[in-house]
Structure 1
Amino acid sequence: MKTISISGSFTDFFSRNYIYIDKTETIYKLLKMQKKVFISRPRRFGKSVTLDTIGTLFEKGVAPYFKGTWIYDKWTEPTYPVLKISFLDYSVTDINEFKRRFIKDISTFAKKYNVEGYREDIETDGSLASLLYALKEHNQSIVFLIDEYDCQLVANIDNPNLYEKFREIIRRIYATFKTYNEAIKFLAVTGVTRLKDATIFSVGSDIVDISNKSAYSQLIGFTKEEIKTFYIDYLKLATAYENNVSVDNVTDTQINAMLDKIAYNYDGYCFDEDYEKKVFSTWSVNNFLQSILEKEKVHFGDYWFDNGGLPSILAKNIEKSKINLFDYLNKDHLIEVSRNSFLNPTSLLDIDNNVLLCQTGYLTLRSSLSSGDSIISLGFPNREVYDSLTQLMAIKALKKETSVNVDGKNILDEGNAKQIIDLFNTALNTVSYDKFPLNSESSVQGYICIYLKAAGAKVSAEVHSSKGRADLVIERLHRRIVIELKYADSDPLAKTKLNEAIEQIKNRDYGNVLPQKELIRIAAVYNADPHVRAIREYQQV
């Protein structure tokens, strides 16, 4: 069984016999149709290895690295010098050190390829201009690849002065590329964010943004068909462990069921302007499949989020109450943003938070960009992102430790209905009414959800089934807790509402889904009377 690579180097796939998901047909189309491109994708999604693949193709040709790929017998271009720069390797705090490193990389390249007429300059754009001018004068051209162009900008969202200095350096670099167009065979720039103030779309206006172009929407990321084709041995192994059968006895139906589970956890990213094509997170899929060999069992971990965490700009905005956590508790809820704010963000300093969440991979497209509508819908891509993001946001929002343990006992795993409701009331008693006024069913539901998420529990709000929608579902290893919650402002109304909740659970059979677990279903009513303010009426159904 071939090894899965988490590497950013394309040549490793050949030299170490790693599995390579063949993207060369799309790369061929890109290189034939475009000359200068920009593409934004979340971190740990495969941008670097995509650039490295392009660089290897131009610098070394197809043999031997591309043997067995789609492009092997179709690529006829000669080789070109390739200059690849990753801003991740550059200083994010020292302007002079950033400039020194950039100029050094330009000069090293010029020396390596004996570029006649090159003169090192004290400025980044000066050295770059000298290199490109010298190449043009000798009818030479290069392939220029810039990875993570926005690294310095993202790092300085809390330092407007330094942010502006880095922005100006980046602006001059892209203006230089446009001035010396003849010396560029191909230019590709990647980053997490799409920002007008970085001037990729102004002074560098001949750079084509392909971030949401349908033709390239699956260039970075895995499709379900690619996973089934290239990772079939791993899928069979996972299916065998999951169904307790031998690898030789797994069925196509079982393999497809495993693929559906992987999709639920790691699929759902859409970068397609037509909202038709989706991809899986490469980092999550690779780590999940690799863990099967190590653990000898199936474990759907939160790999991508654990590696990336919450962007500092979002964490700060949560603390400043600029982000309302309640907006994200329903995983099926669509979040609307204006078309202009999505397509034309100007600066990280004032970008719409939901647009930033989308660019960084915590939300994704849920509607077409090509329809011309003034409003665009966003939503969570998958279970991994929903669970991890809302848990961390809950911790940030509450600013305190929460727990589901009482006297050494995990109430969600071992408690009865009364103990579970007592836990909820304890949580509700900690509410700051000026910040989280409990004045509706959704607010009570939301706060309980926030509290449990901050404690690390896997809880979902507004969970759909074939017969209806449960208010709260808490999934444990061996237990499923379903809460149907109502809101009342008096004792008489609370009793009426309790009966409504009981009938709702019975009629809609909430929680009776696969996989089967111990099922605890509780009808509960929050009494908002100022003398009560608690869940006093409840019944296990």
Structure 2
Amino acid sequence: MEKLSTSISDFEELRQNNYLYIDKTEFLAKIISSDKYYFLSRPRRFGKTLFIDTLEKFYQGKKELFKGLFIYDKDWSWEEYPIIRLDFNRLEHSTTENLKIEMEEFLNGYAQEYDLKLNSTLISSKFEELIIKISEKENKRVVLLIDEYDKAIISHLSQDPEEIKIAKSNQNFLKTIYDNLKPLVKHLELVFITGISKFSKLSIFSTLNNLKELDMHPGFSHMLGYTEKELHHNFEPYFKEFAAETEISKEELYAEFKRMYNGFRFSDEDIRVYNPYSIAKALAAKKIDNYWFESGTPSFLIELLKDEQYEIPKLSDLEVFKSQLKAYDITRLQLIPLLFQTGYLTIKEKLGRDFLRLGYPNQEVETAFSQNLISELSNYEADLSLIRKLRLAINNFDLEAFIVNIRYLFESIANINIPAAASERESYYHTMFYLIAELLADRELKIDSELLTARGRIDMVVESKDKVFIIEFKANQSAERAIKQIKEKGYADKYKLKDKEIILIGINFSTDQKNISEHLIETIN
């Protein structure tokens, strides 16, 4: 059985050392046989660097590395091309001056490798000169591979004006680099650029108007990440081994992996993929956990959520114009395209030609995002043992214990980061209750928040194997009013055909007491 890698992005190392590689060379074949300039944005840890490396090895003519893969027996010359590979993860960018120094050292390094002397003084001109001189010396067009083009920009996205100033300055500098690429068409075989975010073409790729954007392009939806078919076809032995060492059957494991890690959709094509990093980590450790969030949520996203006072529950079911997901300007950060491009939201459904429904891709993203938000909004690290008690209380139908533990949790975050205005406090507690409830979801409990019905939105539905809990939240009103709304709006109607016991829970929150003031529980027979 081939080894699993969670950190190797070197195609040659994977192929020569018996590591599992999921064949994505079908997309490589599409790329090299059509256009010249490409751009691909994907969330972090989706395999962008590995794909860049695969392109590099292809253009180095290393055919034997591709033996058994889609592209191997295709009619390609497999000739070697000169390659310039620029990885912005490796360049220091705390100031634009530092970035310029790093870029100049990078260009001088390539000039030395090809025994060339560069005469230009401007870095942008030196980059152009390097490409022309390499092409002329080797008598071949140059392959230019740029990985994480936006690293020097998004690392400085913040509400801090000084950080935004650095981001803008870095962006302006990089624009001069890319502006010099278009006139070099006769010297370039391929330009392939990757990143996480997509900034306005006018601000960074203004002259590359023939740049083919693959991020939402039909036909490239599963270029990175694993489809359901790829998961079952390539990882079957690992699931068997996982199942043999646990009390979970292989079928249950597949279902749990789908709930936790599947769901990323990047285009109009209804093709959803698994996060490859999480799959490798979970199968290697034989443990289902939140792996994609190990490095945490970028602070600027939290700052944006706070600054815009965004209603967090809406993120799980959001209708937007397709155009809202396109490029944005860093001086005017927009929350929804940022959340989509960084992978926190994904396409759940296409609603006609111009509209999309967005939501969290999967349980891993939703749970870890909720945990992170609780911590950021309250300075409280969610007590996982308390979350387990809440799950246990629901599963054992011990609703009084559930309420007691909810009270305890809110007591532990009282007086921390609580807004002064009463109206803002109501929204704050509603959001905190929503985030806490989102942490309860596991394979035994299905959680739906802000669930849309024909007559309104249900605050929360918790569904177990034999019960449905419909929860309505009120602030500074009454638990009785919450129960009355559930009944008047007919929130339980859609669940009556499920042959499950239906329990209505009304909760009233007092912003003065900073906790639950009363609750009511009713069972529908």
User: Which band: TM-score by shorter chain?
Assistant: 0.7 to 0.9
Equivalent residue for 1:291? Answer: 285
In the alignment, does 2:301 pair up with 1:314? yes
Matches within 5 A, 1:46-445: 46-62=47-63, 64-74=64-74, 75-115=76-116, 118-138=117-137, 139-158=139-158, 159-196=163-200, 199-241=203-245, 254-255=250-251, 257-272=252-267, 274-292=268-286, 299-306=287-294, 308-328=295-315, 331=316, 333=317, 335-345=318-328, 347-368=329-350, 372-373=353-354, 375-400=355-380, 410=389, 413=392, 416-425=398-407, 430=414, 432=419, 434=421
Q: Note closer, same or farther for the CA distance 1:510–1:494 as it changes in structure 2 (3 Å cut).
A: farther
Deviation string, structure 1 residues 414-457 (Cα, Å, up to 9, x no partner): 69533432444566684657265577xx9876442235568999
Matched residue SS, 2:325: helix
Matched residue SS, 1:213: coil
- Amino-acid identity (%): 21
Matched residue SS, 1:305: coil
The unaligned stretches of length 5 or more in structure 2 are none
AA at the equivalent of 1:386? E
State which of 504, 508, 516 in structure 2 corresponds to 1:526: 508
CA distance in 2, matches of 1:511, 1:304: 35
CA distance in 1, matches of 2:171, 2:483: 61
The answer to whether the 8 A contact 1:498-1:525 is kept is no
The answer to whether the 8 A contact 1:364-1:379 is kept is yes
AA at the equivalent of 2:105? K
Equivalent residue for 1:516? Answer: none
AA at the equivalent of 1:128? F
Equivalent residue for 1:251? Answer: none
The alpha carbon displacement at 1:41 in A equals: 0.4
Matches within 5 A, 1:17-56: 17-56=18-57
AA at the equivalent of 2:460? D
The alpha carbon displacement at 1:202 in A equals: 1.4
Deviation string, structure 1 residues 117-151 (Cα, Å, up to 9, x no partner): x4154432121111123245454311110100000
AA at the equivalent of 1:231? F
AA at the equivalent of 2:314? D
Equivalent residue for 1:250? Answer: none
CA distance in 2, matches of 1:198, 1:4: 41
Equivalent residue for 2:460? Answer: 471
Equivalent residue for 2:2? Answer: 2
CA distance in 2, matches of 1:492, 1:381: 33
Bigger mean CA deviation after superposition, 425-434 or 221-230: 425-434
AA at the equivalent of 2:434? C
CA distance in 2, matches of 1:495, 1:67: 64
Bigger mean CA deviation after superposition, 449-458 or 231-240: 449-458
Equivalent residue for 2:433? Answer: 448
The alpha carbon displacement at 1:5 in A equals: 1.7
Task: State the TM-score, normalizing by the size of structure 2.
Answer: 0.82
The alpha carbon displacement at 1:281 in A equals: 0.6
Q: Note closer, same or farther for the CA distance 1:401–1:229 as it changes in structure 2 (3 Å cut).
A: closer
State which of 438, 449, 453 in structure 2 corresponds to 1:462: 449
The answer to whether the 8 A contact 1:482-1:511 is kept is no
The alpha carbon displacement at 1:230 in A equals: 1.6
CA distance in 2, matches of 1:419, 1:164: 52
AA at the equivalent of 1:224? E
The alpha carbon displacement at 1:368 in A equals: 4.5
The answer to whether the 8 A contact 2:84-2:143 is kept is yes
The answer to whether the 8 A contact 2:82-2:140 is kept is no
The answer to whether the 8 A contact 1:487-1:497 is kept is no
CA distance in 1, matches of 2:283, 2:33: 34
CA distance in 2, matches of 1:30, 1:10: 18
Q: Note closer, same or farther for the CA distance 1:474–1:120 as it changes in structure 2 (3 Å cut).
A: farther
The alpha carbon displacement at 1:538 in A equals: 2.2
CA distance in 2, matches of 1:532, 1:189: 50
The alpha carbon displacement at 1:19 in A equals: 0.6
Deviation string, structure 1 residues 307-355 (Cα, Å, up to 9, x no partner): x311121122234344332323xx3x1x23344332232x223132011
The alpha carbon displacement at 1:114 in A equals: 3.7
CA distance in 2, matches of 1:198, 1:319: 29
Q: CA RMSD in A?
A: 4.0
The unaligned stretches of length 5 or more in structure 1 are 246-253, 293-298, 514-518
